[in-house]
A and B are shown apart, each in its own frame.
Chain A
Amino acid sequence: MSEGKVGRRDFLKYLGTGIGGLVVGGALGYLTSSYTATPVTVAQTVTQVIGGATVTATTTKAVTETKTLTEVRTTTIAQTVKPARYFEGKTIELVVPYAAGGGYDLATRSLASYIQKYVKNVTPVVINKPGAEALLGPAAVWNSKPDGLTVCLANAYGNAYASLTKDYAQPFTIFDFLPLGRITWGTEVAVVAKDSPIKTVEDLKKLDRKVKFAGLGIGDESGISTILMCSLLDIPFVFVLGYKGSGEAISSLVRGDTDVYLVDEDTAYRYWQAGSVRPILVVYKEKLKLFPDVPALGELIPKEAHRILTLKDNIDRLGRLLIAHPKTPREVYDAWQDLLKDIFVDVDFIEEQEKIRSFKPALGDKMKQIMEEIKPLLPEFKETLKKVYPEL
């Protein structure tokens, strides 16, 4: 065999080193898909209203600093921290329906570290499954074993809106899953460039042309809020679609390419604080705490038009929802509820979540109730939207 040519023995080497490669690669894959954060424990008694029920949790280790919650409310149910025994020694797959680094990813990784804080010997693994407008994440849960060990922090309200406007050929909708708990929810805010001549909603009506709304797609929460807002306020409008994120859409406002963009309240607040945009309307029945001087859509429309707005508000309340397989056994569901009750009142967890988005938790039973209320009303919502925007 000449120098530089491959022989049979070399193929045995291929096999041996290939197995080595699988081991190394597996370790690397595990490292990049999850991390183990050092649990941070504090001694503090926290009370928090979670989905209607008020829960108190008391941790036992020493505190070194005093932290206050923005909203500490009265106690009606007292509960002590218990480890969720069902999860001990098990691996929990936490699926994120978006790529690493975004808000959903950060919120899930934070949740993973607090699952470790409250359960001994548990291995939470964060798995990113981006794609199909955040439907691949729920699909992974749908195709998993119904043991409650594969869960997903779904964009539940986005998924609900998308199911109204697109056919994904999926065997499920977001309403078919078992809700474990919600981390946050929010509504949309209409923003214009800071230097835009448009200062109020009235200015939109005075334009001698159709108002240009930036958007990612028609069927998402921003698109549907735009349709709703313009139909209720009788504003002639046109979509400019194809922006690949709220950042790009907002830069189009700043450049003067588009006039208005409807973005979730937390993002709107950040860009407003950064000096890039000015909020002109909140797509909600009443004013928001974040924008006390900005009018709400509910204040500008007649009472009889409130029904459709209420329907939208209810869908928005699905928010960022932790979901499990619909056939998850009752005792596993209860174990999740125990665990989330502990985590949702943990002061450090709340602080971390607040940095990502306003923390507005709710437990499974409350979310089930919301879902049951919304589901039968969806056809009416879709029909109303179609009437005002047939292209939908």
Chain B
Amino acid sequence: MTFPLFPEYLFSLDIYFYLLLGVLWFYVFGILPLVGTLQGLVILIPLVYRLDIPQAFALLLGGVAGMWLAESTASILLRIPGGPVTVPLIMDGFELTRRGRAGLALGAAASSTLVGGIISPLFCMFLLSIVLLVLRFLGPAEVLLIVLWGLITSAVTLSEKDRRKGIFSAFLGLLLSTIGFSYASQVPRFLFGTYELWEGIPMIPFFMGVLVMPEFVRYLVRGEKYVVKTEYLHLTGGFFKDFLKGFRETFKSIRVLLQSIVIGIIVGIMPGAGLATSSFLGYSQASLTTKRKERLGEGNLDGVIGPQAAIAAGFPGDLFPTVTFAVPGSASMAIILGLLMIKGLTPGPHMLARQASLVYYMYWIIMIGCVIGTLLSILLLPLIAKIIKVQVTTWAPILIALIFISTYIDRFSFFDLLLLLIFTLLGYAMEKYGFSTALLVIGYVLGDLIETQAMLVYQLYGLTFLLSSSTLILVVILTLVTVLSLRAMSGKKGEGS
């Protein structure tokens, strides 16, 4: 099987029209808080019916690939994620904004997006030639190990202040993820008499309640008028200078950057793992690898670089199982897959063999879309960043109203509004008493994946899975990474003391 390096579709002008259209379209959905890829894709469905396949790819794949910096902007500036994917960005990204250094965080996010978005498609194109080997290496046992590693390293590194409270928070997240019907064991759990919880706790009220709404409560309690803390307001003047500095800073964290890209690609390729998992694991490994003096969660730039690079690298990875075996890794990719099937295209081994240039074209368009979209976001950032100079009292009520509306329309359920209030109280109480909402969210997001994969592994191999060669190799790699990172961390602390 031979793959053309530069598919002919790339030399057609109309492609770039649709690419630009897609980039602009998804930019809007990226930059607006509370809406993201899914909403953008759903509205495009009627248009896709009328397009050729290469045009549809340019519109959808190019557009989505270009939106990641825009998607992270609201997380960094206002602590409002567009979806679970950008949740890790609020931890350090928003903290930097609070300290008047939004430019620094956005600059680092921009360069991480560009590097991740360029390297990852190239690497994925190489992996296409060894597709079966890649898929065979990444089964449920490997997914389980990597995700468990991510959870444990997060729990250890993010709970430095108070280990017991940190581990309790992660454990609570794991427990919350067990609510709902377990398909593996065929048992309904903790439904509290309502079938609204059958599929588990819905994402939107959970994230909004635990992470976003408590911030608004805190503005009121603290009586602050701006997102930026009063004592740092004077720092907000040099946004562009800060942005350039942040852009360069990424390359000083080259290890965090590259490791995040690798994690993004691997997790993206894993069937069913999804981009949110890439993002959280990117954050986890950054917490393990960082050499900066700030703690993670307290304005460490690596807490932005890690997840952002993993997201940008994860999206092309996510496409990999979609085109090779029609197995979408995320909800967005499932929609893209559905739309492609409507266009009469069936991804799979035959497509790889017979329409290789189309597959190559998909990766090129993702790369070009990422570069154009990120540049567009950078151009508009100084304008967007002015929001932090607007009083909270002006925009917060609009956002609170939008949070309630977006929570309701997700499933048209009043029950979800009740959940939003419950999780707002939980999130506020946890932060007030020194528990980590970040670890709560990480436990919740990774918990479901851990349980599903663990049940599959147990049914398939029992405990003998630990003896399989690929698992052993992975265990050795993860152990080495962890030991070397912990040694580096303890060395740094020694120097510090």
Do residues A25 and B338 form an inter-chain contact, with CB atoms below 8 A? no
A24-B398, A102-B334, A255-B135 are contacts. A242–B223 as well, Cβ < 8 Å?
no
Is the beta-carbon distance between B183 and A21 smaller than 8 angstroms? Answer: no
A26 with B183: CB separation less than 8 A: no
Q: Is A349 an interface residue (CB 8 A)?
A: no
The answer to whether A4 touches B328 (Cβ under 8 A) is no
CA distance A101 to B350 in the complex (A): 24
Which of A105, A136, A248, A270 has the most B CB atoms < 10 Å from its CB? A248
| Also in contact, A247 and B325, with CB within 8 A (given A21-B400, A101-B42, A106-B342) | yes
- When the two chains form their complex, are residues B350 and A275 in contact, meaning their CB atoms are under 8 A apart? yes
Provide the main secondary structure of the chain B interface: helix
Residue ID in chain A nearest B392 by CB atoms: A6
Whole-angstrom distance between the Cβ of A384 and the nearest chain B Cβ: 20
Interface residues of B in 375-432 (CB under 8 A from A): 391-402, 404-406, 408-409, 411-413
Given A3, A21, A257, which contacts B233 in the complex, CB threshold below 8 Å?
A3
Instruction: Specify which chain B residues have a CB less than 8 angstroms from the CB of A158 in the assembled complex.
Output: none
B391 touches A10 (CB 8 A): yes
**CB-CB contacts of B270-305 with A at 8 A, as 1s and 0s?**
011000000000000000000000000000000000
**Which of B45, B271, B393, B411 lies in contact with A129, CB distance below 8 A?**
B411
> Any chain A CB within 8 A of the CB of B321?
yes
- The interface residues of chain A lying within 8 Å CB-to-CB of B394 are 13, 17
Chain B residues 454 to 470 lying within 8 A of chain A, measured CB to CB, are 455-456, 459-460
B376 vs chain A, min Cβ distance (A): 22
Are A127 and B45 in contact, with the CB atoms below 8 A? no
Which residues does chain A contribute within 8 Å of B327, judged by CB atoms? Answer: 245, 247-248, 250-251
- Using C-beta atoms within 8 Å of the partner chain, give the interface range for chain A: 35 or more
How far, in whole Å, are A59 and B42 apart by their CA atoms in the complex? 30
Return chain B residues, CB-CB under 8 Å to A4. Answer: 224-226, 230, 233
Chain A CB within 8 A of B184 CB: yes
Interface segment, B6-14, B51-59, B106-114, B194-202?
B194-202
Using CB atoms, name the residue of chain B closest to A256.
B136
Question: Which residue of chain B has the shortest Cβ distance to A167 in the bound complex?
Answer: B188
Quick one: given A247-B271, A255-B135, A273-B350, are A28 and B396 in contact (CB under 8 Å)?
no
A25-B406 in contact given A17-B394, A18-B397 (Cβ < 8 Å) = yes
Residue interface bits B313-353, CB-to-A below 8 A is 1, else 0: 00000000100011110010011001101101011111101
Residues of chain A in range 22-67 having any CB-CB distance to chain B below 8 Å: 22, 24-26, 28-29, 31-33, 35, 37
Interface assignment of A146: CB less than 8 Å from any CB of chain B? no
User: Which residues on B sit within 8 Å (CB–CB) of A127?
Assistant: 412
> Does A100 lie within 8 Å of B184, measured CB to CB?
no
Interface size in chain B (residues, C-beta < 8 A): 79
- Is A274 touching B351 in the complex (CB atoms < 8 A)? yes
Q: Is the CB of B456 within 8 A of A242?
A: yes
| B125 in the interface (beta carbon within 8 A) | no
Question: With an 8 A cutoff between CB atoms, is A135 at the interface?
Answer: yes
Known A-B contacts A32-B43, A270-B346; the reply to A106 vs B338 at CB < 8 A is yes
- Give the distance to chain B from A268, nearest Cβ to Cβ, in Å: 12
Q: Decide if B401 touches A251 in the complex (CB within 8 Å).
A: no
> In the complex, how many angstroms separate the beta carbon of B113 from the nearest chain A beta carbon?
25
For the complex, what is the distance from the CA of A242 to the CA of B405, rounded to whole Å?
33
User: Are A32 and B35 interface neighbours, CB within 8 A?
Assistant: yes
User: Known contacts being A32-B42, A32-B43, A32-B409, is A276 close to B325, with CB within 8 Å?
Assistant: yes
Contact: B186 with A219, CB < 8 Å?
yes
CA distance A15 to B272 in the complex (A): 43
CB distance from A236 to the nearest CB of B (A): 16
* Interface residue? A182 (CB, 8 A): no
Complex Cα spacing A37 to B195, Å: 34
Q: CB of B496 within 8 A of chain A?
A: no
Write the chain A residue with the least CB distance to B402.
A25
A275 touches B186 (CB 8 A): no
Contacts of B195 in A (CB 8 A): 131-132, 135-136, 139, 168-170
Cβ distance B142 to chain A, nearest Cβ, rounded Å: 11
In the A-B complex, the 3 residue pairs with the smallest Cβ-Cβ separation, listed nearest first, are A274-B348, A101-B335, A21-B401
A-B pairs with beta carbons under 8 Å apart, 23 shown: A5-B224, A17-B395, A17-B397, A24-B398, A25-B398, A25-B401, A28-B405, A32-B35, A101-B38, A109-B46, A128-B412, A135-B195, A169-B193, A240-B456, A241-B184, A245-B272, A245-B328, A245-B334, A247-B325, A251-B325, A258-B460, A273-B346, A274-B351
Binding site for B on A (CB under 8 A): 2-6, 10-11, 13-22, 24-26, 28-29, 31-33, 35, 37, 99-103, 105-106, 109, 113, 127-133, 135-136, 139-140, 166, 168-170, 194, 212, 216-219, 239-245, 247-248, 250-252, 254-258, 270-271, 273-276, 352, 355-356
